[in-house]
Amino acid sequence: MISKLLKSHLRAIPNKMSWWLWVLLVPVALFGLVVLRGAPYVPTKRRLLDKAFTDLYQLNDKDTLVDIGSGDGVVLRAAARRGAKAVGYEINPILVLISRLSSRSSLISVRLMDFWYAELPLETTIIYTFGEARDIKRMYEKAELTAIAHNKVIYFMSFGFNVPGKKPFKYDGSFYLYKVKPLQRG
């Protein structure tokens, strides 16, 4: 009898372990595999954002900021505090959930999707990114295509990475701000 009980317990251990393994593996995969599509999750410091949205680009209630890869939503909340509409695209469902729970303002919306496939809202005035060197040129091209499609100037703000071959409109030591005109690309 005792040995039967012991055997059934021992048989159950691998099942329990695999359950816990999944709980660990799914977030690791979600946070890790993102590098195939863009930068991994590292939030921009709130202090730096507050300074940039005051000194570099005076974000206000006429703006719609789009964060391509919005992480936990820290940029969206900084934008909403200034009265701007803020739209985030985020590929990691855990971060989408966190940002939705922590960003209760009606000015903020977060979309679970790969931003490379997103058509940005017509109201977009500024695109924000904390990307990485590998992607920054392609991200800027997305801003150019958006400016052409919307037929208006769009600002492109990049934290930490400059766009090779493009002169920033402003730079404050952390953020590069570009003014993207709706010019047809050659």
Ligand X SMILES: C[S@@+](CC[C@H](N)C(=O)[O-])C[C@H]1O[C@@H](n2cnc3c(N)ncnc32)[C@H](O)[C@@H]1O
Q: What DSSP string describes 103-165?
A: ---TTEEEEES-GGGPPPPTT--EEEE---HHHHHHHHHHHHHHHHHHTS-EEEEEES---TT
Among 67, 80, 85, 155, binds ligand X (CB under 6 A): 67
Q: Which of residues 122-141 bind ligand X (CB under 6 A)?
A: 130
Residue 63: DSSP 8-state? -
* Residue 71 in contact with ligand X, rule: CB under 6 A: yes
Asked if residues 159 and 174 have their Cβ atoms less than 8 Å apart, the reply is yes
Residue type at 131?
A: G
Q: How far is the CB of 3 from ligand X (least distance, A)?
A: 50
Q: List phi, psi (to 5°) of 53.
A: -80, 0
27 or 43: CB nearest ligand X: 43
Among 65, 78, 85, 89, binds ligand X (CB under 6 A): 89
Asked if residues 49 and 73 have their Cβ atoms less than 8 Å apart, the reply is no
* Residue 75 in contact with ligand X, rule: CB under 6 A: yes
Q: How far is the CB of 153 from ligand X (least distance, A)?
A: 22
* Residue 41 in contact with ligand X, rule: CB under 6 A: yes
- Segment interacting with ligand X, rule: CB under 6 A, options 70-78, 100-108, 161-169, 171-179: 70-78
Asked if residues 66 and 89 have their Cβ atoms less than 8 Å apart, the reply is yes
Q: Which parts of this chain interact with ligand X (CB under 6 A)? A: 34, 37-39, 41-44, 67, 69-71, 74-75, 89-92, 95, 114-116, 130
